[in-house]
Protein backbone atom coordinates (compact mmCIF):
# COMPACT_ATOMS: atom_id res chain seq x y z
CA UNK A 1 0.00 0.00 0.00
CA UNK A 2 1.09 3.58 -0.62
CA UNK A 3 1.78 6.04 2.18
CA UNK A 4 -0.72 6.00 5.01
CA UNK A 5 -1.21 9.73 4.68
CA UNK A 6 -4.03 11.88 3.34
CA UNK A 7 -3.82 15.39 1.98
CA UNK A 8 -6.55 17.69 3.30
CA UNK A 9 -7.05 20.63 0.93
CA UNK A 10 -9.17 23.66 1.74
CA UNK A 11 -9.56 26.34 -0.88
CA UNK A 12 -10.16 30.08 -0.88
CA UNK A 13 -11.97 31.72 2.01
CA UNK A 14 -12.07 28.57 4.13
CA UNK A 15 -9.54 30.21 6.43
CA UNK A 16 -12.53 32.35 7.50
CA UNK A 17 -14.62 29.42 8.76
CA UNK A 18 -16.39 30.38 11.95
CA UNK A 19 -16.41 34.05 10.91
CA UNK A 20 -17.72 34.12 7.34
CA UNK A 21 -21.47 33.58 7.04
CA UNK A 22 -21.85 31.37 10.14
CA UNK A 23 -25.52 30.83 9.25
CA UNK A 24 -24.30 29.00 6.12
CA UNK A 25 -20.96 27.51 7.18
CA UNK A 26 -21.35 27.19 10.95
CA UNK A 27 -19.20 28.42 13.83
CA UNK A 28 -16.45 25.80 13.66
CA UNK A 29 -13.08 27.07 12.49
CA UNK A 30 -10.60 25.69 9.99
CA UNK A 31 -8.50 24.54 12.96
CA UNK A 32 -11.54 22.56 14.18
CA UNK A 33 -11.91 20.96 10.73
CA UNK A 34 -8.24 20.02 10.66
CA UNK A 35 -8.43 18.52 14.18
CA UNK A 36 -11.58 16.52 13.37
CA UNK A 37 -10.18 15.21 10.10
CA UNK A 38 -6.82 14.33 11.65
CA UNK A 39 -8.53 12.47 14.51
CA UNK A 40 -10.81 10.54 12.12
CA UNK A 41 -7.85 9.54 9.95
CA UNK A 42 -5.73 8.58 12.96
CA UNK A 43 -8.43 6.15 14.14
CA UNK A 44 -7.84 4.29 10.88
CA UNK A 45 -4.04 4.51 11.01
CA UNK A 46 -3.62 7.47 8.64
CA UNK A 47 -1.85 10.77 9.13
CA UNK A 48 -3.06 14.03 7.56
CA UNK A 49 -1.18 16.86 5.90
CA UNK A 50 -3.40 19.94 5.74
CA UNK A 51 -3.14 22.88 3.36
CA UNK A 52 -5.38 25.90 2.93
CA UNK A 53 -4.72 28.72 0.56
CA UNK A 54 -6.49 31.56 -1.17
CA UNK A 55 -4.04 31.07 -4.05
CA UNK A 56 -4.82 28.40 -6.61
CA UNK A 57 -1.17 27.68 -7.46
CA UNK A 58 -0.36 26.81 -3.84
CA UNK A 59 -3.16 24.23 -3.88
CA UNK A 60 -1.98 22.82 -7.22
CA UNK A 61 1.57 22.46 -5.90
CA UNK A 62 0.33 20.61 -2.80
CA UNK A 63 -1.80 18.27 -4.93
CA UNK A 64 1.15 17.55 -7.25
CA UNK A 65 3.40 16.79 -4.27
CA UNK A 66 0.77 14.44 -2.81
CA UNK A 67 1.27 12.15 -5.81
CA UNK A 68 4.32 10.63 -4.09
CA UNK A 69 3.50 11.21 -0.42
CA UNK A 70 -0.20 10.50 0.06
CA UNK A 71 -2.72 7.74 -0.51
CA UNK A 72 -5.68 10.05 -1.13
CA UNK A 73 -7.02 13.61 -1.03
CA UNK A 74 -9.91 15.13 0.90
CA UNK A 75 -10.75 18.46 -0.71
CA UNK A 76 -13.13 21.34 -0.20
CA UNK A 77 -12.16 23.54 -3.14
CA UNK A 78 -14.42 26.39 -2.02
CA UNK A 79 -15.34 28.66 -4.93
CA UNK A 80 -12.74 26.95 -7.13
CA UNK A 81 -15.20 24.05 -7.33
CA UNK A 82 -17.25 26.01 -9.83
CA UNK A 83 -14.47 27.74 -11.77
CA UNK A 84 -11.22 25.80 -11.85
CA UNK A 85 -10.49 23.40 -14.66
CA UNK A 86 -6.80 23.40 -13.66
CA UNK A 87 -7.65 22.22 -10.13
CA UNK A 88 -9.73 19.41 -11.62
CA UNK A 89 -6.90 18.53 -14.00
CA UNK A 90 -4.36 18.44 -11.15
CA UNK A 91 -6.55 16.03 -9.18
CA UNK A 92 -6.96 13.83 -12.25
CA UNK A 93 -3.24 13.94 -13.03
CA UNK A 94 -2.07 12.66 -9.65
CA UNK A 95 -4.40 9.64 -9.97
CA UNK A 96 -5.18 9.44 -6.25
CA UNK A 97 -8.64 8.75 -4.87
CA UNK A 98 -10.39 12.03 -4.03
CA UNK A 99 -13.17 12.93 -1.60
CA UNK A 100 -15.00 16.17 -2.41
CA UNK A 101 -16.54 17.95 0.59
CA UNK A 102 -18.85 20.95 0.77
CA UNK A 103 -20.05 22.26 4.11
CA UNK A 104 -23.26 23.73 2.71
CA UNK A 105 -25.59 22.05 0.25
CA UNK A 106 -24.39 23.71 -2.93
CA UNK A 107 -27.39 22.30 -4.82
CA UNK A 108 -29.76 24.35 -2.65
CA UNK A 109 -27.86 27.57 -3.21
CA UNK A 110 -27.25 29.86 -6.17
CA UNK A 111 -27.43 28.25 -9.60
CA UNK A 112 -23.73 28.88 -10.34
CA UNK A 113 -22.80 26.64 -7.39
CA UNK A 114 -24.59 23.62 -8.87
CA UNK A 115 -21.70 22.66 -11.18
CA UNK A 116 -18.53 21.09 -9.80
CA UNK A 117 -15.45 20.68 -11.96
CA UNK A 118 -14.14 18.31 -9.27
CA UNK A 119 -17.15 15.98 -9.25
CA UNK A 120 -16.04 13.72 -12.08
CA UNK A 121 -12.62 13.04 -10.57
CA UNK A 122 -13.87 12.48 -7.01
CA UNK A 123 -14.80 9.01 -5.79
CA UNK A 124 -16.57 10.40 -2.72
CA UNK A 125 -18.98 13.34 -2.49
CA UNK A 126 -20.16 14.65 0.88
CA UNK A 127 -22.38 17.68 0.43
CA UNK A 128 -24.26 19.77 2.98
CA UNK A 129 -23.34 17.94 6.19
CA UNK A 130 -21.53 20.85 7.82
CA UNK A 131 -17.97 20.33 8.99
CA UNK A 132 -18.91 16.82 10.14
CA UNK A 133 -18.90 16.00 6.43
CA UNK A 134 -15.10 16.05 6.50
CA UNK A 135 -15.11 13.16 9.00
CA UNK A 136 -17.52 11.11 6.89
CA UNK A 137 -15.58 11.87 3.70
CA UNK A 138 -12.34 10.82 5.38
CA UNK A 139 -13.81 7.49 6.46
CA UNK A 140 -15.29 6.79 3.03
CA UNK A 141 -12.02 7.68 1.32
CA UNK A 142 -10.04 5.40 3.63
CA UNK A 143 -12.54 2.61 2.87
CA UNK A 144 -11.75 3.02 -0.83
CA UNK A 145 -8.00 3.11 -0.21
CA UNK A 146 -8.22 -0.02 1.96
CA UNK A 147 -10.35 -1.80 -0.62
CA UNK A 148 -13.36 -1.96 1.69
CA UNK A 149 -15.62 0.06 -0.64
CA UNK A 150 -15.89 0.81 -4.33
CA UNK A 151 -14.82 4.16 -5.70
Task: Provide CB contacts within 8 A for 55, sequence distance 6+.
Answer: none
Is 127 part of any known ligand binding site?
A: no
Q: Which residues are catalytic?
A: 25, 102
Angle formed by the axes of helices 56-69 and 85-94, to 10°?
10
Is 103 part of any known ligand binding site?
A: yes
Is 104 part of any known ligand binding site?
A: yes
Is 54 part of any known ligand binding site?
A: no
The number of CA neighbours under 13 Å toward the Cβ of 15 is: 7
Is 84 part of any known ligand binding site?
A: no
**Beta strand pairing status for 98-102 and 72-76?**
parallel
Annotated binding residues for substrate, as ranges? 76, 82, 89, 103-104, 113
Amino acid sequence: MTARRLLLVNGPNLNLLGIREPEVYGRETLADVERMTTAAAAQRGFAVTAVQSNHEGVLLDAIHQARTTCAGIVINPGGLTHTSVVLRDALAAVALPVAEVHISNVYEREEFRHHSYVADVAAVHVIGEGVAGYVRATGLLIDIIAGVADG
